[in-house]
Structures are given as C-alpha cells and as structure tokens.
Chains A and B, each alone.
Chain A
Amino acid sequence: MGLHKIFVPGTPVHIRADGITGRRIDVGNPLSVWEEEALQEVGLDVKGEVDVWPAGVVPASFDGQEEATWLTTDTPMLGIYSNLAVTRYEVSLNGGEATSTVAAPEEGPVFVKVPGLRVGPHTLTISAETSSDQREEQLRIKVRRPERNRGENAKIWPLHVVVASPSTSMEELWETEVELSAQGPRGREVEVSLELYAQDGTKPLATTTAVMRLPITKDDWEDFVQEHCLRNADLVEHFEEAYEADVTIDGGIIGSKTIPFERRHTLLRWKLIEQEGARRIQLLDDTDGGPQTQICRYAPEQPLTSTRLDVSGPEQIFETDPSGGLWRAEAGEYTATRIVSPGEAEVQWGCEGIDSIPEEIKQVIHGLCLWKNADSRDNDSIELQKIVLDRLQEMIVRALCGAEWMEKEKRWLADPTEGNRKDLEAMIDKVPGRANPVKEALDESGATPGMEEMKDWIRDNRWLPQRRRIKNIGAGARVQDLGGLSRSGLARFSIRVMGDPSAAAGWETFDESIKQLVDNPDLARTARAVVLARRVSTADTDLTAEPVEA
C-alpha cells in the first residue's frame, strides 16, 4: 500500500504499542463527498448507517429498528438520515408500488409522508446513494384499524371491570350467577351501584349503592348482591317490573363502567304489590299474547288442589288470600309460579293422607315439584314453602312406608334414643335369619349405609314376592324381576324419593320405579332408613351431590 506515498489526513496520536502509529481524523456528520473520497483514497473503507424512524407523531408501535404500526386514520411520516455522504435517496413502497427520489440535504434528515396505505403489511425500502456506493434500509410498515373501545376496558386505563359469565341477564344477576370482578389500584375506593329501570324508564325504579375497595373479587361481588340487593326491600319490590338492571362501578377519575343487564328469560312473572297493609299479586306478561293465559292458585292447606282464577280483566291483579298460597300462570311454553306468604295467618293443613297406589304417590310428587320450584322471595314465603314441602314429603313416606313406620320415625326423631332407633329399624327386617347390609351398617358404630348397601340389599331380593335370589350380574345390569330396572338405578331412585322426591321426578324410569316402591314397602323403608341415617351424619350432602340418572 505504501501510505507514505500519498497525503495522509488527520493529526498524529500516540499509541503505546511498538510499530503502530495512529492518526485522528475529524469528519462531518454526515460525511461530505469530499471527505468520503479522501478516506477512500487512503484505503479506508467507510462504514455508515441509514436510519429510518417515525417522525412527528408517535405511531401505534415501533420496535426501534425494523417495524412500525400506524392506524388507518394516520398518515405515516418518516425521517431518513445517514451519516454517509449520500447524494440522493430513493424511497420505494412494496417493491415499486410508489416511489420517490429526493436529493439529500447538506445537513439534517429528509422527511417523507406516505398517505393512503391500505390495511395490512407494507415494506418501505430506502436506497441511499453515495458517490461510490449504494446502501439499502427497509422498514416494515403495518397498518391497522383503530380499536374502538372507548366504553370498554382499554388497558391504558386503570379500572378494569370483567364480567366472566358467558350470558348475562337480570335474572342471572339476581340469582348471583353473574361473575363480576374489578381490578385497579389496590385499596382504592369505588362506588358500586345497581339501578333497576322500567321498560321505557329514564329514572331508576330502585337503586342501591355501596362503597367497596379494589380489587373486587367474584366473592366480593356475590356478597354485594346478597347484602345490598337481595336484602334491599325497595329493589326486591321493583325487580319484577324492571326490564334492565344497570351495574355501575364508579372510580371517579380512574374511570367508571356501567354494565347493563337485560331481562331475558322470565317473560311471564309475578309481582307482589304491598300497599297500606293490603297485598295484591300482579301478573306481568311480556309474551306475545298468543296462547290464552291460564292462572290458578294453590292454597297452602290444600297444596295439591288448584283453583282457577278469572283472567278476563285488563290488569291481571289479584287479591291475595290472607293464608297466602302459590300462584301459577301458564301461557304456552311460559310459566310463572310464585309463593306468597300467609302473613299472620297460620296454615291449617287440610290435606288428607293418600293411599299407597302409584297414581296418588305420583300426584304428590308432582305437587311437591311445583312448590319446590316456585319463586319464594322473602323469609315468610320461604318458610311457607318449607312447611308445605315437609308435609308433602311426610305424605309420601307415610304412604310408602306405612303409618306405623311414620309414627316410629317421628318418635325416634323427637327422642333419638338407641331403643327408638332399633324399634324403627326392626320394621325393615321382616325375614328372620337373613342378613341385611343396610341394617348391619346402621348397627355398626360410626358407619353410615349408602348406595352400596342398598344395592347389596336389592341383590338379595328378599323383599320380592317370589323370594328368589338373583345372581350378582353387575350393578348396571337390568334384572327381569325388577321390571327391567337396574339394581343401582333402583337403589338410587329409592333413596332420592325417600329423601327429596323432586330430584327423581324427571327420571325415565319414574313410573316403573314408583311401582316397585309401592309393591315393596321394605324397599321404601330401607331407603328411608338410609336417608335418615345419612341425614344425621356428616355425609348427608353426598346423596344430593350424586348425578341424576336418566
């Protein structure tokens, strides 16, 4: 090379290394054409950069190097600069869809605007030409539509309210089935309110408000509904006439979110009107008015007997009887049942006992389902519901297990001595010398009979008239002697009917299973013994938690 033969720019610098010399060369930024040529003349290769960046307005995102995102509402604007001696820039979009050539200024960047970009990815190529070279730089541009979420939970805002439930209706809100939570600055107070609105209402019918601290968990929300809504007499009174419930979480300056819950399911519903000591019940009918509406009342003292009411009036409002009762309306596929408490009046039970025949047992079970599924809103109506259900249950037990069993059961429950228990259980072991797994479990200290013992007992089949022993052919197998029922199915059905008959009302095998219970009082008594034993033990909940068998 022989550097000594040509002009060497710069000033010497001292380097502490044998045989090495150094020179400091000050150049401009950007390099001038003259400087670049001079450096190249002395054999120095010039390294430089071409920078491209969003200019003027912050884009939706920029990774600092290769990729930037703009919105369709923006016009991307870019700055371009190189520290090389660039003579001109050629800017090209998507390989030539649009191009522009611009002479490089002596100093500072050049700016370009790229209007009219479609949604999607684009590539902007910047070619910087120097006197001897050409450098290329690329920027990937993405264009997207803005997210229109002013009313939503934008991440930039501090308050985030989430409703996790897949469907949200007023009814689900009222049943505490809506899972709502709110996140935000920990410990910050927010005002939580629920307002009920009529169909055309701008002014709320009723409202409740509470101050809560963030974060609000799902459990906190459930507590709010329980404490501030379901126990708020004003809200309870107006719930049925409301068509929308607005929940607002108001954090003041950190944000406010209102979530509307609309009425969806109960197009036919009852509303209790209490004014000046008098009570009336009104049917709110939002069905399309097609099928004729049928309305009837069941008195608490005669809970299986209906009285049809006149529905010819324009407003379907009825005086409630002082003894309360159950009001049922039916319009096509829609039904509404509501229990009204008797107030001060005491329920005079007027139902006579039933015979142990399938039709009568089934009628009581269906009546029990009606009362159990009816809407009961206040403590008094819940209490009335319980009284009626207990008495109907008693009718079923008395019919299936016999009057003597019923008396002994009552005696044992009132006075739970060992003697009374044995006296009761003696009624389920009528065949001397044969083992009874249920009874054995009852006799064992700490043991509680359940499904397995019931199945074993049914397998022994000792209660069948034929008194034939059935082979153990598997729990799910259907046995001819059981009228085609499976052992496990019959065991489970028997326990259900003797514990909560409404849980067995929808079974496919309902008719046949009831017939077996009617024909074999020992089956009913054994199942009742299991229910009673488990009711007094801690394992009671296991029974109701078992899946319903179709």
Chain B
Amino acid sequence: MTSITTIDRREAQQAAVQALEVPIDAGERASMTVPEVLAASIRRAAGFLCPCPPRTLREEVQGVLEGMVDDDAAEKIEDTIQQLILVGDLLDLPVEENGRSNRMLHATPPSFVVRRDDRHVLLGIPSDGQSILSESYRDRIEQRGAVRFFHEDPEYARQILASRGLTEVTREEWLRSPNFEPSPSDYIADFNEELDQADEVNTEVAGIKILDASKSPRFYKGRWRKPKMHDDGRYVARRARRFGADFWCYVQIREGAVRRLMDFPRLPHSETPRDEAWRLQSAIDAHQGAPQVYRVRSEDERTVIDVFSPLPSWAERQFLVVSEPKPGEKGALCSYWFEGKASSERDLLERYLWMEAQSGR
C-alpha cells in the first residue's frame, strides 16, 4: 500500500542509517557523518556509479545529506573515499579513453581476506545497491570505520562467505606490498637508471615543486618547495596538470631548472603514483644518512605509532585494519593506536621503508 509519510530530520537520519544497514547501538543517536555510515553510503553510491572519478561519488553522497547534517561533509566524504581505497573496497585504476589514460574508481567485487589472526575482512561492493551478505548474516558484520569484519567460527567462515558468492583474496594480493628491497641504494638505482634514459627537458616545467631531502623528515609539509638556482641533484617532485591532480615525478635539476623528468608510476598498471614517490623519498632519506623516523609510545595500555611522513597505501592498509588512526599528535602527521605491540607493523616500516624507530612518551 503506497503512502506518503512526513518525517523529521532525526527520523530521516534514522531511516537512512537503517537502510544503509549500519547497526546503531541502543540509545545511540544515528548520525549520517559517522565513518561507518559515510562508508556505507559511499559503497552504495559506488554500486551504481562506478567507474567514476572520486568527485562524482563525493557529490552524490553530499547531495543526499543536504538538509540532514549541519556541517559541510565534503571533506569527511573525501577522507572516507580514501579509506575505502586503502581498505580495498574501491580500486583506483587507470582507464584508457580516446587514447588518454585517466584514473577512475572501480568497485572491488564482493570478496574477503583472511588475516593472519584468522579474522575475516569483507571487501568489495555488490552492484546495483545489493547487500554483500543476506540478512541472516548481517548481525555478524562488525563495521569499524571503513573496515568490515565478519565474525564467525573461522572453521566455517570461509565456507559461508564462498557459498554466498564472495571470492577469497589472498593476503599478499590484498596488502599489495611491494617487493622487499634490502638496500635503499639498490631501490634508488632503478629509478636513476630510468631517469638517465629520459629525454632532456628544454622547456620550463609548469608548477614544479620538489621534496627537499636536506630538510628534516619530521615535518613533511615543510620539505616541499619550488626549485632554487643553487639546486643541483635528483628529487621527488610534483608538477602541475591542467586538469586533475598534479603529477608525481622524479626529476634531475641543474641550476634550478628541470633537465630530466620521469612521471610516476614507472609501470603503466601500477595503482598509485604517490606510493612509488613516497617510497623513493624514504629510500633517498635513508641513503643520505637521515632516514625517516617513526615514534613508538605507550598510551592507556595501547601502543601508539606516530609517523611524520605519509605512508604508502600498502603500508597504511596494513595499519588501518589493526589500529585506530587518529590525527597526528605531538608533531606527527598521523598516529595509529594499536591494541597489541604492533611488531609486524614496525617491521614493515623498517624493512620496506628503511625507517628508524624513536621511542617517546
């Protein structure tokens, strides 16, 4: 029986949260801007709209929040989209159209990954607004930020998920960790070799900014600057693009001008140019004897890792599912709060990004 029911703003939020299948604890007030709800809303939008640029998802989700939330939710939505990319619900992939390569967000097909601790993380987005699991299993899904865990006896969980059409993704495939490189100089050498083979640049490169390795790695933003006349060497850099985000690149600079240039990613199917750039910078810092640092401290019986430079997505992905990320504290760019000792995460920073640990309070 069709009817038209008038509802107030609070009821509208409650109805939306319920429709998005986000469980709300008893007594808790439904809010459309909590990370779990935003993530569910973006997933639903992606189920209709992908492949699309991130802006399309942001605008669609922002549109349905009109009048329901007081603040401008754009920034929160963008952050959540990035979290969903990190977790693996969304894939940022190159798409070729009319001979040009653009990056578009795709939905990951419904799948799951089994972590080392036997916890099952749900990944992916069903098409056309459908649920990832039927109603009978919905109460076994725990949503924590952009991450969804499936709680079931590990002995049966895999079987249940597979029988519901979810494919298992291996840990390696999910984490997408790069190859282990024991030496930062070996890692840099590959990039240098490629840069040596790049054509000489004879024109001015628009909007070039370099990451100055001589400045302290403890203040990431402060390391970016325009090239100066005395600059001579190789730098991770960004250059302006007429449409879209600036390019990430590796440049050779002589007397303040770009002489050679190679854009990231080095491989055309690599997913994130900035991941390559950030890892290369980490290698450069270590090679020059001033490795990037991370700080380990204990707070409220939890382990906190403070990082001062952005982590590549493969590192952040591993952090995200086992920790609670918070805005950086005590001068850090970001702080990750762990229940355990975070030993495998520390190992990852040291082995793959050549970072050094500093203890702190």
User: Chain A residues in contact with chain B, CB under 8 A?
Assistant: 53-58, 60-62, 71, 73-75, 77, 79, 81, 91-93, 97-100, 102, 108-118, 146-151, 154-159, 185-188, 252-256
Interface size in chain B (residues, C-beta < 8 A)? 62
Report chain B residues within 8 Å CB of A57.
Answer: 16, 19-20, 41, 44, 64
Within residues 48 to 70 of chain B, which ones have a CB less than 8 A from any CB in chain A? Answer: 48-51, 60-61, 63-64, 66-68
Report chain B residues within 8 Å CB of A73.
Answer: 129-130
Does B32 touch A at the CB level, under 8 Å?
A: yes
Given A61-B48, A254-B106, the answer on whether A115 and B5 have CB atoms closer than 8 Å is: yes
User: Chain B residues in contact with chain A, CB under 8 A?
Assistant: 1-9, 11-13, 15-16, 19-20, 32, 41, 44-51, 60-61, 63-64, 66-68, 88, 91, 93-96, 106-111, 123, 125-130, 165, 167, 169-170, 173-174, 176, 267-269
Partner of B93, one of A79, A92, A100, A185: A185
- B127 A111 Cβ-Cβ under 8 A: no
- A252 B170 Cβ-Cβ under 8 A: yes
- A108 B9 Cβ-Cβ under 8 A: yes
- A60 B16 Cβ-Cβ under 8 A: no
Report chain A residues within 8 Å CB of B45.
Answer: 58
CA of A120 to CA of B78, assembled, Å: 34
- CB-CB nearest in chain B for A116: B2
- A186 B2 Cβ-Cβ under 8 A: no
- A56 B4 Cβ-Cβ under 8 A: no
A-B contacts, 30 listed (Cβ < 8 Å): A55-B68, A57-B41, A57-B64, A58-B48, A58-B61, A60-B129, A71-B128, A75-B15, A77-B12, A81-B67, A91-B6, A108-B67, A113-B4, A114-B2, A115-B2, A146-B130, A147-B127, A148-B130, A150-B130, A155-B50, A156-B47, A156-B48, A157-B106, A158-B106, A186-B94, A253-B123, A253-B176, A254-B93, A254-B106, A254-B108
- B110 A115 Cβ-Cβ under 8 A: no
CA of A60 to CA of B106, assembled, Å: 17
Report chain A residues within 8 Å CB of B1.
Answer: 116
Partner of B169, one of A58, A116, A253: A253
Min C-beta distance of A157 to chain B, whole Å: 5
Given A150-B110, A255-B109, the answer on whether A98 and B91 have CB atoms closer than 8 Å is: no
- A155 B51 Cβ-Cβ under 8 A: yes
Given A56-B12, A58-B44, A61-B48, the answer on whether A113 and B88 have CB atoms closer than 8 Å is: no
Name, among B6, B111, B167, B269, the residue most crowded by chain A CB atoms within 10 Å (CB to CB). Answer: B6
Given A115-B2, A156-B46, A156-B47, the answer on whether A253 and B88 have CB atoms closer than 8 Å is: yes
CA of A418 to CA of B2, assembled, Å: 94
Name, among B3, B16, B44, B126, the residue most crowded by chain A CB atoms within 10 Å (CB to CB). Answer: B3
Report chain B residues within 8 Å CB of A93.
Answer: 2, 4
Min C-beta distance of B55 to chain A, whole Å: 14
- CB-CB nearest in chain A for B173: A252
- B174 A156 Cβ-Cβ under 8 A: no
Report chain A residues within 8 Å CB of B13.
Answer: 56
Report chain A residues within 8 Å CB of B46.
Answer: 156
- CB-CB nearest in chain B for A101: B6
CA of A355 to CA of B321, assembled, Å: 86
Report chain A residues within 8 Å CB of B67.
Answer: 55, 79, 81, 108-109, 111
CA of A146 to CA of B169, assembled, Å: 26
Given A79-B68, A252-B169, A252-B173, the answer on whether A62 and B63 have CB atoms closer than 8 Å is: yes
- B5 A113 Cβ-Cβ under 8 A: yes
Given A55-B66, A187-B268, the answer on whether A100 and B91 have CB atoms closer than 8 Å is: no
CA of A540 to CA of B48, assembled, Å: 56
CA of A147 to CA of B32, assembled, Å: 27
Min C-beta distance of A183 to chain B, whole Å: 10
Report chain B residues within 8 Å CB of A112.
Answer: 4-7
9 tightest CB-CB pairs across the interface, nearest first? A56-B16, A154-B127, A187-B269, A252-B173, A109-B67, A156-B50, A100-B4, A111-B12, A158-B106
Report chain A residues within 8 Å CB of B19.
Answer: 56-57, 74-75, 77
- B51 A158 Cβ-Cβ under 8 A: yes
Report chain B residues within 8 Å CB of A186.
Answer: 94, 96, 268-269
Min C-beta distance of B115 to chain A, whole Å: 15
- CB-CB nearest in chain A for B101: A186
- CB-CB nearest in chain B for A152: B127
Report chain A residues within 8 Å CB of B93.
Answer: 158, 185, 254
CA of A494 to CA of B278, assembled, Å: 76
Min C-beta distance of B114 to chain A, whole Å: 14
Min C-beta distance of A162 to chain B, whole Å: 16
Report chain A residues within 8 Å CB of B32.
Answer: 56
- CB-CB nearest in chain B for A102: B6
Q: A53-B66, A156-B48 are in contact. List 7 more A-B contacts (CB 8 A).
A: A58-B64, A77-B19, A79-B66, A81-B67, A100-B3, A186-B96, A187-B269
- CB-CB nearest in chain B for A69: B48
Report chain B residues within 8 Å CB of A110.
Answer: 6
Report chain B residues within 8 Å CB of A98.
Answer: 2-4
- CB-CB nearest in chain B for A254: B91
- CB-CB nearest in chain A for B268: A187
Report chain B residues within 8 Å CB of A79.
Answer: 12, 66-68
Report chain B residues within 8 Å CB of A53.
Answer: 63-64, 66
- B107 A157 Cβ-Cβ under 8 A: yes
Report chain A residues within 8 Å CB of B110.
Answer: 150
Partner of B129, one of A56, A71, A113: A71
Report chain B residues within 8 Å CB of A109.
Answer: 66-67
- CB-CB nearest in chain A for B44: A58
Report chain A residues within 8 Å CB of B107.
Answer: 154, 156-157
Given A111-B6, A146-B130, the answer on whether A56 and B15 have CB atoms closer than 8 Å is: yes
- B173 A253 Cβ-Cβ under 8 A: yes
Min C-beta distance of A30 to chain B, whole Å: 12
